[in-house]
């Protein structure tokens, strides 16, 4: 991962998330890692190229309906000794 360039501090976000590449019908399910008002970190079982646009469905215990956000992948890193990836994405817009 590059030097920390975050513009907002993040909090732990160990909640279920769904995401899909913009324009795709396939959703992937995973768990969030951290979140802020400007972005999200999560673990992915698949490689997602930098600059990809993703549509997220975020669920929280205090809201009935999921929150949908468009985001752009800003960094991707292999997890050591694993076939999984840590991903950081910057929120672009609410949907």
pLDDT in tens, 60-84: 777 788 889 999 999 999 988 889 9
**Number of folded domains that form the chain:** 1
Q: To which residue do tokens 């673990």 refer?
A: 43
For residue 36, what is the domain's CATH number? 2.40.10.220
What pLDDT is recorded for position 7? 65
Residue 3 lies in a domain: no
Domain range for 62 is: 11-94
Could you tell me how far CA 69 lies from the centroid of its own chain? 10
Residue 5 lies in a domain: no
Q: How confident is the model at residue 86 (pLDDT cuts 50, 70, 90)?
A: very high
SS3 75: strand
Q: How confident is the model at residue 3 (pLDDT cuts 50, 70, 90)?
A: low
Q: To which residue do tokens 């309906």 refer?
A: 65
């Amino acid at each position: 991962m590059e030097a920390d360039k975050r513009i907002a501090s993040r909090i732990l976000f160990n909640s279920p998330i769904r995401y899909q590449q913009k324009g795709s019908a396939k959703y992937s399910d995973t768990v969030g890692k951290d979140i802020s008002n400007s972005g999200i970190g999560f673990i992915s079982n698949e490689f997602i190229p930098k600059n990809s646009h993703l549509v997220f469905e975020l669920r929280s215990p205090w809201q009935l309906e999921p929150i949908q956000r468009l985001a752009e992948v800003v960094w991707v890193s292999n997890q050591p000794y694993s076939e999984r990836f840590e991903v950081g994405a910057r929120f672009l817009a609410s949907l």
